[in-house]
Amino acid sequence: MPTKTPPPPLSTALTLMRVVQNWPQNELAARLGCGPSLLSDYEAGRKSLSRERLVEIAAAMGLPADALDQTLAYIQNLRLQTSPEGGPAIRSRRGEAAVAQVASAAEAFARSVLALGPERRAEEDRWQARVLWDRLKGQTPAQMRSAVERSPELQSWALCELVCERSLKAAADRADRALELAGLAARIAELAPGEAAWRHRLQGYALAHLANARRVAGDLPAADETFVRARSFWQAGASADLGILEGALVLGMEASLRREQRRLPEALALLDQALAVASGVLRNQLLVNKANFLELASDYQGAIDTLRTVTTLAGEEPRLGWLVHFTLANNLLQAGRPREAETLLLYLKELANRLRNDLDSLRLHWLEGRVAAAIGHREDAVAKLSQVREDFCARKIAFDTALVTLELAVLYLEERRLTDVRSLARQMLWIFQTQGVHREALSALKLFCEAAEKESLTLEMVRNLVAYLHRARHDPSLQFKTPDSKKTPLVQKGGREEGAKRKI
């Protein structure tokens, strides 16, 4: 009589987890939004079941991520008992060990799948949060906020966490969307049920994301103020921490703000704390931040070496791959190796097309313009930087608008396009009414505008301004040192142009 072929391990795992969790096929199918016949086909092995799909199904049953691995180990050890390999003698010699293996696997399986601990409950809450988010995501910000305030089921810690996650993703695309979502998360945290300590912990988590969104939008003073509040709430709720909320993420976001404020010792200390407890993708993201610190210290080679250790780990995460390769290209450019940076642009374009994040694409165009300028493709550089400047200006991202304006002014001055330089200076006036550029940087920009109007700009002055703004972005106290007034201006009295062909 032929031996019946058992279903594949993944199919058997689905059956076992479903039965252990007491989920009838029809109820589980309804939760998944599919027909019971599909689940039946999965379990019988008639339809192919991927690991990724089974992880999703396990989450729908409220199981933690490692439940699948424990279930598969249990099934594998059970099948060892009936394996025909080696004949009866070999099976007899291994019998006692196999029984012990099965007992051990069964105990681990029971601990992971049957346990009703915090991780299990958290996975259940997170699954419900995904369902709730599907109801909210198509609404306007005002409608979402109104729905949250009306409906207790939307006042969920897991929905707050999910909206925070969406805010982080939006930050790479639209700063205004990131702010809206982080503000919604903060409101959910205020309304969430539970003890005060737990609610404080959740508020600290949400406010940290709001502070991060404000940082991305270029409002560093508001980001700093919000992080003070976030830290206060986060620490007040420490006694209620169950390890559900990602503390390393909170530390990493604050480290990013301190980096941009040029408070590097504080930033590095926060980053080290985060790296000590982080793992997986988040740890790799924090390593990218470390490379950013090295870049600020002008240790471009150190940053390049760090990034190249992360590159091999980034293949399964397009966003992480983007961060690694973009930062690597930028450091190569800073290190005076534009041709090497150029080789990364094609891959970055492919990632940008996959990610479809507006700000990522804009910053890639900016990088392309800078690379083009560095390798002497002036016409291409002017075209790209002009478009980037318009896009930053339309989004009212003040600091980046100012910086790309000066980079473009360098190219115009080299081509003796003095009228265009004056026009650029006049178009920067709105920046002086925003809070996105700190006082010292505004003073430096004022000098540029005044010199452009008086036609007393020198190439050295503009070069120094560009270098200054790159540093001043992260150091609000850094002052701009005016070049020696005895240097020959680009335009002398009477309008005679000099020095316009000096290379920047």
Domain end position, chosen among 245, 272, 306: 245
Q: What is the DSSP string of 96-164?
A: HHHHHHHHHHHHHHIIIII--SHHHHHHHHHHHHHHHHHHHTTS-HHHHHHHHHH-GGG--HHHHHHHH
Q: d(Cα 57, Cα 47) in Å, to the nearest integer?
A: 15
Which amino acid makes up residue 303? A
Task: Among 199, 224, 245, identify where a domain stops.
Answer: 245
State the CATH number of the domain containing residue 52.
Answer: 1.10.260.40
Q: What is the DSSP letter of 395?
A: T
* Residue 472: exposure state from Cβ atoms within 10 A (0-12, 13-18, ≥19): buried
Is 202:189 a contact under the CB 8 Å cutoff? yes
In a domain, 228, yes or no: yes
286 within domain boundaries = no
Same domain, 136 and 110: no
Which of 115, 148, 170 is the endpoint of a domain? 115
How many other CB atoms sit within 10 Å of the CB of residue 320? 21
Q: Is residue 497 part of a domain?
A: yes
> Is residue 36, in this structure, part of any structural domain at all?
yes
Sequential pLDDT tens for the chain (504 residues): 444 567 888 888 888 888 777 778 887 887 788 887 888 888 888 888 888 888 888 888 877 767 777 788 777 766 665 555 444 444 444 444 544 554 555 555 554 544 445 666 777 788 889 989 988 988 999 999 999 999 988 999 999 999 999 999 898 778 899 999 999 999 999 999 888 999 999 999 999 999 999 999 889 999 999 999 999 999 999 998 878 899 999 999 999 998 888 788 888 889 989 988 888 778 888 888 888 888 887 889 999 998 988 855 545 578 888 889 999 999 999 999 999 999 999 999 998 988 888 899 999 999 999 999 999 999 999 999 999 999 999 988 899 999 999 999 999 998 888 899 999 999 988 888 777 787 888 888 999 999 998 888 888 889 888 888 887 776 777 788 765 544 444 333 333 333 333 333
Task: Look at residue 252 and tell me if it is in a domain.
Answer: no
Inside any domain, residue 339: no
Strands (E), 158-309: none
Same structural domain, 140 and 200:
yes
Q: Which amino acid is at 342?
A: E
Containing domain of residue 208, as a range?
129-245
* 241 and 133 part of one domain: yes
Same domain for 420 and 501? yes
The rounded distance, in Å, linking the Cα atoms of 36 and 427 is 63
| Closest CA relative to residue 204, chosen from 226, 171, 222 | 226
Q: Say how many domains are in the chain.
A: 3
Residue 87 lies in a domain: yes
Residues 105 and 144 in one domain: no
Question: DSSP secondary-structure letter at 342?
Answer: H
CB 160 within 8 A of CB 192: yes
pTM of the model: 0.54
337-341 long-range contacts (CB < 8 A, ≥24 apart) are 338/371, 338/374, 338/375, 339/375, 341/367, 341/371, 341/374
Q: Residue 262: inside a domain, yes or no?
A: no
